[in-house]
Amino acid sequence: MARSQERPGRRAAAALAALKSSAAAVLAAALAALPAAPAAASPDSGGGEGDTLTIAVSQPVDSLSPFLAQRLISTTIHRLAYDYLTNYDPETNETIPALAESWETTDEGRTWTFTIRDDVEWSDGRPLTAEDIAWTYTTMMEDEGAATANGNFVANFESATAVNDTTLRIELAEPQATMLALDIPIVPKHVWEDVEDFGAFNNDEDFPIVGSGPFVITDHRANQSITLEANDDYWREPPKFDRLVFRYMPEKDAQVEALRAGEVSFIAELTPAQADALRETENIAVNEATGKRFQAFTINPGARTQDGEEFGDGHPALTDRVLRQAIMRAIDKDEIVESVYGGYAEPAGGYIPARYENYHWEPDPDQALSFDVDAANEMLDDAGYETGDDGVRVSPDGDRLELRLHVHNDRPDYVAMGRLIDERLADIGIEIDNQTVDPGVLSDALYNGTYDLIFTGWSVNPDPDYVLGIHTCDALPVERGTMRTDAYFCDEEYDRLYEQQLANYDDPEGRAEQVRQMQEILYEEAVVNVLTYADTLEAYRTDQISDIQVQPDPGGNIWGQDGHWAWTSATPAQTQAASGPSVPAWALAGAGVLALVAVVGGVVLLRRRSATAEDRE
Amino acid sequence: MTAPPAAGATADAAPAPRAGGRRPGLPPTVRYLGGRVLTALVSLLAVMVTSFFLFRVLPGDPVTALTQGRAVTVEQLEAMRRDFGLDQPLPQQFLDYCLGMLTLDFGTSYQYRVPVSDLILERLGPTLLLAGTGTLIAAVLGLVLGTRAGWRRGSVMDRVDTGVALTLWSVPSFWLGLLLIVLLASGAGLFPTSGMSTPGVTGPLNVALDVAHHMVLPVATMVAVVYAQYMMIMRSSLVDEAGADYLTTARAKGLRDALVLRRHAVPNALLPTVTLIFLNLGRVVSGVILIETVFAWPGLGSLFYSGLRVPDLPIVQALFVVFAGSVILMNLLADLVYPLLDPRVRT
């Protein structure tokens, strides 16, 4: 009787037990993987033979097609897998020959003739000729899809033709000084001419991908990793590591931990706090580089279209240059460097960061709009901005100086700067309505002209043409909302200098002087106000990388170089093979599994015991 | 969500068809099922329409966001806008969107330039693996601990278990994940810090072991944070049953305590937990966005996040529909399974 009743109970018990054991089984299976795993812990045993360099990256690849790729991670990979007409010197940032050995200009700078190296081969063994280069450029000129990423470089081209295998001729509509700064990866015509839709072809199906650079792309796992193998036949000195792996890790703190664990050899874009912490860590070197980027805010001088039609609701007093300059005098750049960047930045002078010595401009100490609250207050007093009863000034036209400040909520440094600016501008009787918002909201405000002060920042290339071009009158929107830049700036003298420097293809020194004069205008007008050049902070494991080239040298960066220098120069450290933690990991893992089994088993046993004991009572 | 009220309502209404037989052609079960399916379809339609407008309200222009900080000409911007179909008037865009959705063509991602359906299929596996394993372990753990705690309510073990579960429940998964990475991955070196696999590992067995090894920390994080909900539901429904007369009867006829629990109390207390599990199975697809981000797990959650930042409209629209759709589907399944589990719902 009792027995027959027990059966269904047993079944239930068995079901529970099965559930329990299945959970245990999953856990055990997960843990059992451990012994197989020490391979995973050391980057050099990731796959195949030789030394592997693993780099953590924060972005997934958008496209492996050089015609489409826009993200820094993708263009970085293209710099490794393809060649360019010219390169930038790793030490000085100056233009040096690459595929083009030499060049000459005729027809007042409208015709450029490049002599192409004859010893370059694609990774499939076919020779790289002028025809490949001409085809790459022409495709971008003729096909809208192929122009997606880099169309701006060929916008002024009339034609690009291969006169013979080693001669490339480019005809321009207007002379341009940026002909030696064409950041266009050259693709093999014999592979790419079969592509039907350049706007949809992502170049990620046939591995290895045919290229001519120092590395060959051999594998891509979307949102996980990209693997490149060294091209031992590269025409420059071949890379020292045999393999590069870019691992996608979106979380910065997780990247730091992966570096500590030795799973990755290099991480970039550290915060000052992370850099300070890693500085203390054994076998890790922190590289503190002068920044390519500047951090700035722009003042709305009155949004308008190219035809002069005004729109938006910027504060009317901001059309007054005196007020804009006073705002700049009230802001303490040194304070920003210290409290926002912990000293890892430089207070800004001109628009072009100090690392580009040729083009950088510093204001004269006498005329500088440097930090001086008293001077700022005096300027405003003299210009008729009276202080109201509530301590906030009123413009001569009777408008209270309450200004909106738009801050990107995803940029901790901008948020901190915004708070400082709130305080400093209160010192000169300006009230700030701080709007820390989503970048989308912010760009809507910018394009509709519904802002007063707004943060911005650009990464500046060795050739500064583009960042200068966005402040010409031509960059104003054709109609409301179609803007492509970050300030409604328009100045005749600035435009005249811009045209001159762009056409100045044969006098680099003269061009640099023109660029410096343009920065002086920007500085005086105080519409585009550069605050700092933040340092680039990055770290690598010295027990895996013994030597690596920075750009410029000294003081330059490793990640985001204009060239492949860092990753071709990186040298494996001798000690790399002896990765310390892997052996103890084995032991620890085994101990962990045993402990877990013991605990689980113990609990189960105890429960059985206590259950029967109670039941017996 | 609709299940519990439906249970009561249908039970009350049960005698009516039998007495009146208003619709002789439709048996009550079919009407019950048909009603549920119809409701699900209407919900799905509403989700589709919402999805289109919801993400167009998002501030920011995809084209300017994608070209942020890059040198581009006005022509390039216009070409992109045309390519994405953003130059069309809104009604036309809506029409295209609806036609696409009905034919399961979700469009092409702005940022990755591949069909969104490919992206979703590619990411579905990792998410199901991570969130599915996590949910399974959490549910089993929650059920076992909840039963234990509920049966001996007020004991030291109950208080400790409940306290631990609620503490973990209130821990941010993001923070716990990082803590585990610091302690067990970079600290003790037991596990990889992130990712789903090691590049270069080949062979089915090695790959499986490699993935399992990568899974331990993210799954542990997920289980630790979510098992409390299963435990608390199980515990409270068992406590509800604890005073029931049939248990007294069972004890009176001499059954051992453990048997009373297993055979009588647990099966009855299981019902609310099953509902919860089903609802959560629907959410498995939407993944565990924060955990996927911390551990660089290539799943749907991180895809959604990357889509939102642009905004990559085809991705977020499609994922919104897929996420909502899977919840609706699981809800429907729960409704359909209910009559099997609980005789009171059968009509």
> How close B199 comes to chain A (CA, Å)?
6
pLDDT in tens, A458-499: 889 889 988 998 899 988 888 887 777 788 999 999 999 999
Supply the pLDDT for residue A1: 35
> How close B5 comes to chain A (CA, Å)?
29
* Portion of chain B with pLDDT greater than 90, in percent: 7
B104/A contact by beta carbon, under 8 A? no
- Better-scored residue on pLDDT, A614 or A312: A312
Average pLDDT taken over every residue of chain A: 85
Substitution target from A20, A72, A224 for chain B, most B beta carbons within 10 A = A224
Length of chain A: 617
**Contacts with A584 (C-beta within 8 Å, 6 or more apart), sequence order:** B189
Supply the pLDDT for residue B74: 76
Substitution target from B147, B186, B316 for chain A, most A beta carbons within 10 A = B186
- Chain B residues whose CB is inside 8 A of the A140 CB are none
CA atoms within 13 A on the CB side of B105: 9
Residue B9 has pLDDT above 50, yes or no: no
Supply the pLDDT for residue B172: 87
A216/A219 Cα distance (integer angstroms): 9
CB A189, CB A135: distance < 8 Å: yes
A68/B contact by beta carbon, under 8 A? yes
Mean pLDDT over A288-303 rounds to: 92
- Residues B199, A46: C-beta atoms closer than 8 Å: yes
Residues 424-463 of A with CB under 8 A from B: 438-441, 443-444, 447, 458-459
Supply the pLDDT for residue A606: 57
Supply the pLDDT for residue B20: 43
Instruction: Pick A585's closest partner by Cβ from B113, B189, B212.
Output: B189
Instruction: Pick B60's closest partner by Cβ from A443, A482, A585.
Output: A443
pLDDT in tens, B46-104: 999 988 888 888 777 788 778 776 777 777 788 888 888 888 888 888 888 888 888 88
- Chain A residues whose CB is inside 8 A of the B108 CB are 200
A173/B contact by beta carbon, under 8 A? no
pLDDT in tens, A14-69: 444 444 444 444 444 444 444 333 333 344 434 446 799 999 998 888 899 999 99
Mean pLDDT over A358-376 rounds to: 89
Length of chain B: 347
Mean pLDDT over A207-229 rounds to: 93
Considering A184-188, B33-37, B45-49, B322-326, the range whose residues carry the highest mean pLDDT is: A184-188
Pick the residue from chain A with its C-alpha nearest to B264: A9
Mean pLDDT over A450-464 rounds to: 91
pTM of the complete model: 0.80
Average pLDDT taken over every residue of chain B: 81
Q: At what angle do helices B116-151 and A2-32 cross, to 10 degrees?
A: 130
Residues 184-243 of B with CB under 8 A from A: 185-186, 188-202, 206, 208-210, 212-216, 219
Mean pLDDT over B212-229 rounds to: 90
Supply the pLDDT for residue B101: 86
- Residues A222, B298: C-beta atoms closer than 8 Å: yes
Do strands A266-267 and A536-541 pair parallel, antiparallel, or not at all (unpaired)?
antiparallel
Instruction: Report the candidate in A603, A554, A515, A590 with the shortest Cα–Cα distance to residue A288.
Output: A554
C-alpha angle A126/A131/A137, rounded to 5°? 120
Instruction: Pick A438's closest partner by Cβ from B59, B190, B194.
Output: B59
> How close B237 comes to chain A (CA, Å)?
18
Residue A281 has pLDDT above 50, yes or no: yes
- Residues A148, B80: C-beta atoms closer than 8 Å: yes
Residues 224-283 of A with CB under 8 A from B: 224-225, 227, 245, 247-251, 253-254, 257-258, 260-261, 263
Q: Say how many CB pairs under 8 Å bridge A and B.
A: 228
- Residues B74, A482: C-beta atoms closer than 8 Å: yes
Question: How would residue A101 be classed by pLDDT, with cut points 50, 70 and 90?
Answer: very high
Mean pLDDT over B246-273 rounds to: 83
Question: How would residue B185 be classed by pLDDT, with cut points 50, 70 and 90?
Answer: confident
Pick the residue from chain B with its C-alpha nearest to A5: B255
Instruction: Pick A46's closest partner by Cβ from B59, B76, B200.
Output: B200
- Chain B residues whose CB is inside 8 A of the A466 CB are 71
CA of A269: how far to CAs of A63, A472, B81, in Å? 22, 31, 31
- Chain B residues whose CB is inside 8 A of the A47 CB are 198-202
Count of Cβ atoms closer than 10 Å to residue A609 Cβ:
10
Count of Cβ atoms closer than 10 Å to residue A166 Cβ:
15
Which domains, from first to last, does chain B contain?
28-59+106-346 (1.10.3720.10)
Supply the pLDDT for residue B333: 84
Question: How would residue B250 be classed by pLDDT, with cut points 50, 70 and 90?
Answer: confident
Instruction: Pick A224's closest partner by Cβ from B144, B189, B197.
Output: B197
Phi/psi region, residue B191 (left: phi>0; alpha: psi -120 to 50; beta: rest), is: beta
Do strands A545-547 and A528-534 pair parallel, antiparallel, or not at all (unpaired)?
unpaired
- Chain A residues whose CB is inside 8 A of the B137 CB are 23, 26-27
Supply the pLDDT for residue A317: 93
Residue A384 has pLDDT above 70, yes or no: yes
Q: Distance between terminal CA atoms of chain A?
A: 21
* Torsion of the alpha carbons at A351, A353, A359 and A361, rounded to the nearest 10: 60
- Residues A23, B137: C-beta atoms closer than 8 Å: yes
- Chain A residues whose CB is inside 8 A of the B146 CB are none
pLDDT in tens, A516-565: 999 999 999 999 999 999 999 999 999 999 999 999 988 899 999 999 99
Pick the residue from chain B with its C-alpha nearest to A591: B190
- Chain A residues whose CB is inside 8 A of the B57 CB are none
- Residues A9, B259: C-beta atoms closer than 8 Å: yes
- Better-scored residue on pLDDT, B22 or B197: B197
Mean pLDDT over A166-172 rounds to: 95
Pick the residue from chain B with its C-alpha nearest to A150: B72
Complex ipTM more than 0.90, yes or no: no
- Residues B302, A250: C-beta atoms closer than 8 Å: yes
Pick the residue from chain A with its C-alpha nearest to B118: A222
Question: How would residue B25 be classed by pLDDT, with cut points 50, 70 and 90?
Answer: low
Mean pLDDT over A445-461 rounds to: 91
> How close B262 comes to chain A (CA, Å)?
6
- Chain B residues whose CB is inside 8 A of the A6 CB are 259
- Chain B residues whose CB is inside 8 A of the A250 CB are 293, 296, 302
Residue A160 has pLDDT above 70, yes or no: yes
Pick the residue from chain B with its C-alpha nearest to A34: B213
Supply the pLDDT for residue A532: 95
Residues 85-144 of A with CB under 8 A from B: 144
Residue B155 has pLDDT above 70, yes or no: yes
Substitution target from B122, B179, B209, B316 for chain A, most A beta carbons within 10 A = B209
Buried b (16+ CB within 10 A) or exposed e, B113-139: bbbbbebbebbbebbbbbbebbbbbbb
> How close A148 comes to chain B (CA, Å)?
6
- Chain A residues whose CB is inside 8 A of the B210 CB are 33, 36-37, 40
- Residues A40, B302: C-beta atoms closer than 8 Å: no
Residue A285 has pLDDT above 50, yes or no: yes
* Portion of chain B with pLDDT greater than 70, in percent: 89
B120/A contact by beta carbon, under 8 A? no
Supply the pLDDT for residue A208: 94
- Residues B213, A37: C-beta atoms closer than 8 Å: yes
Largest Cα–Cα distance in chain B? 86
A303/A448 Cα distance (integer angstroms): 8
A33/B contact by beta carbon, under 8 A? yes
Radius of gyration of chain B (CA): 25
Residue A42, helix vs strand vs coil: coil
Question: How would residue B276 be classed by pLDDT, with cut points 50, 70 and 90?
Answer: confident
Supply the pLDDT for residue A200: 86
Mean pLDDT over A316-329 rounds to: 93
- Chain B residues whose CB is inside 8 A of the A46 CB are 198-201
Residue A336 has pLDDT above 80, yes or no: yes
- Residues B178, A582: C-beta atoms closer than 8 Å: no
Mean pLDDT over B123-152 rounds to: 89
Supply the pLDDT for residue A515: 95
Assigned token pair, A422: 């709130």
Instruction: Pick B190's closest partner by Cβ from A34, A68, A257.
Output: A34
- Residues B209, A37: C-beta atoms closer than 8 Å: yes
